[in-house]
Structures are given as C-alpha cells and as structure tokens.
A and B are shown apart, each in its own frame.
Chain A
Amino acid sequence: MQLVLSWPIRLLVVGILVFSLFVDGAGYVYRIANHYPLTGNVPGLPPNFGGWQLFFHRGLDLAGGTHIDYQLTNFPAGQSRADVQQKTIQVINRRVNTLNVSEPEIRGAGSNYDRITVDLAGVNADQAQKTIGAVSKLVYTSWVPDDKVTNGPEPGFKPKLTGLTGDSIQSATATINSDGTSWVVNIQFTQAGGNLFDQLTRANVAACPGDPASVATANCAQRHLAIWLDLTQKDIDNWENADYVGKVSGPYDPGCLAAQTANTVCGKFLTDPVTIEEISGGNAQISGSFTQQSASDLATGINAGSLPVDLVALDVTQVSATLGAESVKLSLAAGLLGLAIVVLFMIIYYRVPGLLASLALLFYAGAVLAVFKVVPVTLTLAGITGFILSVGMAVDANVLIFERFKEEVRAGRTITAAVDAAVRRAWPAIRDSNTSTLITCVILGFVGPSAVKGFAITLGIGVVASLISSIIVTHNLLAIVLTAGGLRRPGLLGVDRVRAV
C-alpha cells in the first residue's frame, strides 16, 4: 500500500479534485471570466471551452419533451436497409430543425435497421408527431374518366398518379401571390421534374383547348392537375367507394395522418387547379385557401423531402417541462438530504475518521458529477436515483475500512500500522462488494430495457468512483490527519484505547 500513500498519487488526487471543481463549476467559471451576473440566463451558456461544452445533459423526463420510438415499414426494394434508415434519419432531422429544438436526438435502432428513436426537448407529442410524420409526399395526379365515381373533387373521374411528386421538387417557398390577396406556395422543380410538369400541362391543355375562363367546354376535368399529400395507389383503388373518397378528398389533415392506423382514412386533398396554359421552365404555384402558417408549413414540408419509408409510432412519451423541473428539484432535495444524513451519521458514529470519510464522499460526489458532464452521461430521473444510491453505497467501503481499523487498534497496533492493515485487510471485501453490484449494472446496462439503462450507468460509474475514493482518498486522509498527535485520542477515533507509539 506504499504506492497508495506516495506523492504522485496524492498529486493525481489533487489534480482530479481541481479538475472536478472546474468542471462542476464550469458555468460559474464562465460567468466570472466573462463578467456576467452569477444567476439568471446568460447568453453563451452552456459554456463552450474550445468547442467543448460542459453541462449536464438532461434526459427528457427532466427537461420536458417528447420521446418517440418509430417502427420503419414498407422499405423500398433494392436498397440497403441501413442506407434507407440513414436517409430517413436525415429527413426527420431536417423536419425537426424547423421546430428549433436544442439538441434533437434522432438515432437509428433496431436489430434490422427498422427502428428510429427521436428525443425532442420542449416539444409536445402532438407537435412532434405532426412535424415528423405528417407532411410527407406531395403527389400530382391527372384525371381519367370512371363512371362509377360519384364523389370527390371531380365526380365521374378518378385520379391517376403522374409520377410527379415531392421528390421532383428543388425548393418551395411560401409567398403572397401577385395580387396580394392570398398566400401561395411557389415551387421550383428539378430538371427532370420541370420536363415532366411541362409534358403534363401540355397534355392538360390539349385535352380540351380554349380559354377555361370564357369557354365552358375548355374547363374539362382532364385539364385539371390535382395536388395531394401522401395520396397512394391504394387510395386510388378505393375511388369507387363514395364514402372513402369523401374522406380522402377532405382538406389535408396533418393530425389525422400523424396518428393514422390501418383503418382510419384521412383527408389528403390540397388543391385541384385548372391548367390555364402549358408551363415550361420548371416553376409552378400551388394556390388554395392557405393562411400564412399553413403555406409556410407546406413549403417546409416539401423542402424537407419525403420519407422513404412509412413510420409507425410504437411508443410515445411526453413529459411537461413543469413536471421535469419539479423532478429536478425533488431529486436534488433527495440527493442533498441523503448526503447530509450519511455525513451526519458517519461523523457521529466514526468521529474523525467519519469526518474524513465525509470529505472523501464529497470528493467522490464532485468527481462523479464531473464525469457525468465530461462523458457526457444523459441524466434521467432513474439515473439520478442511481447516483444517489451510489452515494449510500460508497460509504460501504469506508465502513469496512473503519471497522477493520477499530479491530486493528483494539488488537494493539499503532495508529499508522492500523490504518495500513485496515485498508489492506478490508480490500478483498470492498472489491467483492463492488463486483456483485457492478455485475448487475453491466447486465442491466447492456440488456436492460432502455428506461433502466440510465440507472445502471450512473450506479456503475458511482461504484467505480467509490472504490477509488475510499481506497485512495480516505486512506491518504487518514494517514495524513492521524499523524497529528492531538487527534489520536480514543474519543475522536471511535475506539476504546489507543496504544502509545
């Protein structure tokens, strides 16, 4: 154990202490360095030290927000599933960016690239699902005659997919139209999309020539080009079902689409304008009864691109920010209360060694919190509980050492020898005690359900840190402090008698 008591080790411990204090107080260091007030919101927080941000990463149950697990279905054939998953994540990322969420987390998961997990702080579930799942694919259809169709925008006709979709669009912008009366969305097609649009409008005009505004026959159904969102061939196959068509032709309903199940039919209709003249050059305009909000939502949706797969929400968790803040407050209170009780108990029961152990415990808590910031570990409610529990468990090693210490002193050893012997003899028990807890943590961390992983990680980190803290810090403090003669009185050490040196 001479190694443990050597100067390099002590320097290292002091180094860890200083570093932990710096990391734990990074916010204040930053405020002081930049002459900001010490409380309240300050620009530039969390502090950024050369691209290295130091702050507690709060899980959604503490920050408030929405967590969704999506199942990916209808993978396009002939593409690698990993690529499709990546592309989907990119699209979701672009869509989520419109929400201005700090640190959105969108991760791939699943054994077969078939899951995506989304964590959005400060967004409610409704908003999140609408943004991620709703505005999907812009679809242009032309009309073909079908006598059995009795309902919809053009009775007697059913839509036909033209192949022109959101994928053919370069960009979309929401503007006020030329006469300044309503909101429209301007679209610029890609090269191929522009050519296709040119052909389609040409075919429109050729179907019934003339000026649709003045000549009644010129305004035939075939001259219209309808625009839908998310319209599928399956919908078109049901077009002879009047009830179904009535629903699909309803105004576009993002809320319904976001929560769509196999049996619900949602409105997907956007507009069905007549083509005045053929349009070449790749620009088009979508008009309809838009508000500023709905026009810009649509433009954003089109810009973000379409999802290559269908998303089904498997589970949705939404925590309000107030509940999150409340949880933080309660956990903090629980942690401080727990720490205070343990410190009080250790000092009353073990006297000076107890005080030293409490100092070691504070060192331990500071170091672990610094680790959480540096790694970074995302703290959840369960994670904080794991950390608080580890504070209680960290005492275990100290108790083992002190009980042995008492025995060694009773056995007639000098204080110095007793400290050494106590640490040496308590070590196997300390090692084993932490091993069994660590085994549990590792198992839970790897195979446990995701909710409990945070608990396992913080408890695991805590256990390892407590090992270091008790063996090195407590031992060194005991060795240093107990060289002072005044402290060697039995009453202060919690033992009955001390042998004179």
Chain B
Amino acid sequence: MSELSDVSSEEQQADIVADGEPEPEPEPAAAQKTAPPPAAEPRVRRLNIIGLRNVFFAISLLIIIPGIVSMATKHFALGIDFAGGTELTVTFADQPSLQRVEGVVDAEGLNGQVIQTKDGYILRYPVLNQAELTNVEGYLTSNLGEMSVQQQLSVGGTIAGETIFYSLLAVVLASVAILLLLAIRFRNVPGGWRAGFQFGGSALAALLHDVFILTGIFSILGKVFDLHIGEIDAFFVTAVLTVVGFSVHDTIVVFDRIRENLRVSQRLSFEQVVNLSIMQTAARSIITSFTVVLVLAAIFISGGETIKGLALALLIGIISGTYSSIFNAAPLLVVWRRLQPIR
C-alpha cells in the first residue's frame, strides 16, 4: 500500500502547524476530531516550502553573513583550555563590585583579566606556578577580603596546543566519516551519480550551514558582545560535532523520503515530490528536535555555570540543524536540480 495516498492534506496541515510552533502542549486532538475524507490523490500542501525557499534562504543568510564577518574580522574568544593560562573561579565573602576587583587585579600588574559570573568572578592570568598562585591568592585576600577558590585551572602551552590539535583532528575525522556516510547513503539515487552528487552536496551544504550558524553566533557572542559564554573550547568542538551528526541525520530522513516518493509517484513534478516529502517528515523532525531542545533548555537553565556553554552551543546547533534540514537542504536540492536537470 502506498503511504502517500492515505494522508489527507488538511490533517497533515494541522499537524505541521501544531508542531511548527514550539509550544509544550500542541493540540493533536483538533486534527483528529474532523473525520477526514480519504484523499484519493496526493496533493501538494498549501504550506509551500519550495515556493518560499528564497525567504528561508534569506533568513539563514541573515544570521550566517554577520557570523562570517565576525569570524573573519574578530575571530573567536578562546576558552582557557585553548588559550592556556591560569584561571581562578572565586567568590568573595564581601561581594566587591566588578570595578573594585578589576582595580585590584590591574594594580597587581600580572596582566590579569576579570570576568563576572553569577555569584563571583573568574580571574584569568598567564600561566602561574603554584608558588606564584599562592602569592596571588594572598594578595587578593588581603585586598578584597575573604575569598573562596571554587576552581583553579592551570593550562600550560603544551596541553593547550594538544587540546587544539586533538579537537581539530576530531573535526577532520568526523568530517571524513560524515562525507563517507553521505556517499554511502546516496550512492544509488535514481538518476545516477550526478543525482547522488546533488543529494550529497545539498546535505553537505545544510551541514555547513549549521556549522557556520553555530560558529558565527559564538564568534559574535564572544567577540562582539564579550560574553564569557561565547568562548570556544573543547566542549564547543564537541557540540559542533554532535550537532553535525544530529543534523545530517535529519537531512537524510527527508532525502530518503524524497527518494522513496520519486519511485512511488512518477506523476508529480520534482518540486511537488520534494514539498510532499518535507511535509511528511517535518512532524518527526520537529518533534524529535523539540524533545532534545526541551532537555537542553533544562540543562541550560538549571545546569551549572561550567556546562552552560556546551548546552547553549547544542541548543543553537540543534535548532539550526532542524531548520536547515527542512527549509534549506531540500529546497537547495530543487534549485540544484533546476540548474542541472536530470532526465
């Protein structure tokens, strides 16, 4: 039995609208009460994603271009594990103002930096050894009152270099693995290798979209807004890779449907098939991402300071990944197919 012929447009329309709004309580019941007439013919949805593709591309570019500009001109704010140095996370009993702490740290003449956190400060210095650190702690206590050191990190240049190296190595290996995965998944699309190239290339473009959105936003957060959370560290790289894995899969699900529908319904135009496939898979993609987004939001809101950056990166990346697989990957495939027709 063909899966296409039994799905009524109204009902899916309702599903999409309900799912599309990120509300915790969608109303599936509304869709169920209207007994839908069995649709004999598959129809192209009213929500015409392919028709509106330029709008969706524009939305993406609106975020990506400032991100790329920021990355090119201002680069990234580096976390301690990439930059190296000594970092103290402290709270003061007297809760001195940021200005006062900065004044004291500046007067110390060690090139210290002060970052304010929820209930204390992060103090960053060039690498200090234990004796120097003890001196610094004594100096701070005598000038700012009783201090409790929550966390102390000292990362030498060797380790910082290695962390960057292994992060980059992970990125390279993951990219190769993902490319292989794409190649395997799209090696036998109807239309020969050229069609496979179009599918794989569009999926790759969607993937790069997510990477650029995520890195761009973090560059802006870290350098334009000078936020601590926008710093790039090993966890950020982890987030990027996790997002890539997640997003590629969303795209694969849509493309699989397109491939399936191309076989089943020969009468529809390529655009119609693509739009239909997006509609059929959107509910699944959005719900899946939505649950993950809920969980990440929980971590972001109630998780500790140290893990917020990871949660935020995953949050941005997964939303972007879902967006790109629905609104960018498949429309891009249509554009590509128009420029380079097959059959």
Q: Is the CB of B295 within 8 A of A317?
A: no
Give the nearest-CB partner of B5 in chain A. A411
For residue A198, CB closer than 8 A to chain B, the reply is no
CA distance A349 to B286 in the complex (A): 13
A437–B245 CB distance below 8 A: yes
| Interchain CB contact (< 8 A) of B302 among A337, A346, A440, A456 | A337
Would you list which residues of chain A between 483 and 501 have a CB under 8 Å from chain B?
A: 490-491, 494-497
Distance between Cα atoms of A170 and B155 in the complex (Å)? 38
Cβ–Cβ contact B130 & A125, under 8 A: yes
Does A456 contact B238, Cβ atoms closer than 8 Å?
Answer: yes
Given contact pairs A389-B292, A440-B242, A429 touches B256 in the complex (Cβ within 8 A): yes
Answer yes or no: B163 CB below 8 A from chain A CBs. Answer: yes
A433 at the interface (CB under 8 A from B): yes
Given that A327-B304, A411-B6, A447-B170 are contacting pairs, would A496 and B159 also be in contact in the complex, using a CB cutoff of 8 Å? no
Q: A121 interface residue, CB < 8 Å from B? A: no
Residues A491 and B32 in contact, CB atoms below 8 Å apart:
yes
* 1/0 contact string of B220-250 vs chain A (CB within 8 Å): 0000000000000011011001101110110
Q: Contact flags (1/0) for B131-149 with A, using CB distance below 8 Å?
A: 1111000000000000011
Per the 8 Å Cβ criterion, residues 174-201 of B in contact with A are 174, 177-178, 181, 185
Contacts of B302 in A (CB 8 A): 330, 333-334, 337
Number of A-B contacts (CB under 8 A): 244
Q: Decide if B288 touches A316 in the complex (CB within 8 Å).
A: no
Q: Is B306 an interface residue (CB 8 A)?
A: yes
User: Within the complex, which residue of B150, B152, B181, B304 is in contact with A330, where a contact is CB–CB below 8 Å?
Assistant: B304
Q: Taking the complex as formed, is A344 at the interface, i.e. its CB lies under 8 A from any CB of chain B? A: yes
How far is it, in angstroms, between the C-alpha of A255 and the C-alpha of B132 when the chains are bound? 10
Segment of A27-35, A181-189, A256-264, A268-276 in the binding face: A256-264
B295-A341 in contact (CB<8A): yes
Contact present for B234 and A330 (CB under 8 Å): no
Give a binary string over A410-452; 1 marks a CB under 8 Å from any B CB, 0 the rest: 1110000000000000001100110111011001100111011
**A449-B306 contact given A348-B25, A393-B292, A435-B181, CB 8 Å threshold:** no
Complex alpha-carbon distance, A206 and B133, angstroms: 49
Which of the 9-residue segments B43-51, B70-78, B100-108, B307-315 touches chain A? Answer: B307-315
CB distance from A92 to the nearest CB of B (A): 16
Per the bound structure, the CA–CA distance linking A65 and B219 in Å amounts to: 33
Tell yes or no: A314 within 8 A of B by CB. Answer: yes
Chain B residues with Cβ below 8 Å from A349 are: 26, 28, 287
Q: CA separation between A400 and B291, bound complex, in Å?
A: 13
Contact B150 A319 (CB under 8 A): yes
Query: In the complex, A400→B252 CA distance in Å?
Result: 14
Which residues from chain B contact A125 at a C-beta distance below 8 Å? Answer: 130, 133, 152, 154
For chain A, give the interface size range.
35 or more
Counting chain A CB atoms within 10 Å of each CB, the highest count among B25, B32, B314 belongs to: B32
Q: Name A392's contact: one of B167, B170, B253, B295 (CB within 8 Å).
A: B295
Contact yes or no, B306 A327, CB < 8 A:
yes
Best-buried of B134, B148, B162, B291 by chain A (most CB within 10 Å): B291
Q: Are A314 and B156 in contact (CB under 8 A)?
A: yes
CB distance from A501 to the nearest CB of B (A): 18
Q: What is the CB-to-nearest-CB distance from B263 to chain A, in angstroms, rounded to a whole number? A: 15
Given known A-B contacts A331-B303, A410-B6, A259 and B132 have beta carbons under 8 A apart? yes
Minimum distance in angstroms from B309 CB to a CB of chain A: 11
Interface size class of chain B, counting residues whose CB lies under 8 Å from the partner chain: 35 or more
B24: A residues at CB distance < 8 A: 341, 344-345, 348
Does the CB pair B130–A388 fall under 8 Å? no
The 8 A CB mask of A383-419 against B (1 = contact, 0 = none) is: 0010011011101100110010001001110000000
A61 at the interface (CB under 8 A from B): yes
Across the interface, B28 reaches (CB within 8 A) one of A69, A339, A393, A494, namely: A494
A455 CB contacts on chain B under 8 angstroms? 235, 238, 310
A190 at the interface (CB under 8 A from B): no
- Asked if A467 lies at the interface with its beta carbon under 8 angstroms from chain B, I say no
Q: Does A129 contact B (CB under 8 A)?
A: yes
The answer to whether B291 touches A395 (Cβ under 8 A) is: yes
Residues on the A chain within 8 Å of B174, using CB? 439-440, 443-444
Q: Which residues of B contact A428 (CB under 8 A)?
A: 256
| A61 to B306 alpha-carbon distance, docked (Å) | 10
- Whether B58 is near chain A, meaning CB under 8 Å from some CB there, is no
Cβ of A318 within 8 Å of any chain B Cβ, yes or no, is yes
Q: Are B130 and A443 in contact (CB under 8 A)?
A: no
Q: Determine whether A480 belongs to the interface, using a CB cutoff of 8 Å to chain B.
A: no
A392 near B296 with CB under 8 A, answer: yes
- In the bound complex, how far is the Cα of B134 from the Cα of A109, in angstroms? 28
Report the bound CA distance from A443 to B169 in whole Å.
9
A450: shortest Cβ distance to chain B, in Å? Answer: 8
One of B130, B291, B306 near A381 (C-beta < 8 A):
B306
Are the C-beta atoms of A439 and B181 separated by less than 8 Å? Answer: yes
Partner of B288, one of A331, A395, A443, A495: A395
A384 to B138 CA separation, bound complex (whole angstroms): 35
CA distance A255 to B143 in the complex (A): 23
Q: Which one, A395, A407, A451, A497, contacts B234 given CB within 8 A?
A: A451
Residue among B235, B237, B238, B248 facing the most chain A CB atoms (10 A cut-off): B238
Instruction: Pick the residue among A69, A344, A448, A497 that contacts B35 (CB under 8 A).
Output: A497
Docked-complex contact B307 and A385, CB < 8 angstroms: yes
**A448 and B249: CB pair below 8 A?**
no
Nearest residue, chain B, Cβ from A67: B153
Inter-chain contacts of B155 with A (CB < 8 A): 315
Which residue of chain B has its CB nearest to the CB of A394? B291
Pick from B234, B242, B301, B307: contact of A459, CB under 8 Å: B242
Does B1 lie within 8 Å of A437, measured CB to CB?
A: no
Chain B proximity of A300: nearest CB distance (Å): 20
CA distance A411 to B234 in the complex (A): 48
B153–A447 CB distance below 8 A: no
B166 close to A330 (CB less than 8 A):
no
Whole-angstrom distance between the Cβ of B177 and the nearest chain A Cβ:
5
Q: Are B151 and A440 within 8 A (Cβ)? A: no
Q: Is B158 an interface residue (CB 8 A)?
A: yes
Report the bound CA distance from A344 to B294 in whole Å.
Answer: 11
Question: What separation, in Å, do the CA atoms of A125 and B287 have in the docked complex?
Answer: 46
Task: Report the Cα distance A473→B189, complex, angstroms.
Answer: 34
Looking at the assembled complex, report how far the CB atom of A141 sits from the nearest CB atom of chain B, in whole angstroms: 25
Extra 7 A-B pairs, beta carbons < 8 Å, given A399-B291, A451-B81: A334-B298, A334-B303, A389-B295, A407-B7, A440-B242, A448-B237, A449-B166
Q: Could you give 14 example pairs across A and B, Cβ below 8 Å?
A: A125-B152, A126-B133, A315-B153, A315-B155, A331-B304, A345-B291, A389-B292, A391-B295, A396-B288, A399-B288, A411-B3, A439-B245, A449-B163, A452-B238
Shortest Cβ-Cβ A-B pairs, 6 listed: A392-B295, A259-B130, A259-B129, A338-B295, A392-B292, A338-B298
Q: Which residues of B contact A (CB under 8 A)?
A: 1, 3, 6-7, 11, 24-26, 28-29, 31-33, 35-36, 81, 89, 129-134, 148-156, 158-159, 162-163, 166-167, 169-170, 173-174, 177-178, 181, 185, 234-235, 237-238, 241-242, 244-246, 248-249, 252-253, 256, 283-284, 287-288, 290-296, 298-299, 301-304, 306-307, 310-311, 314
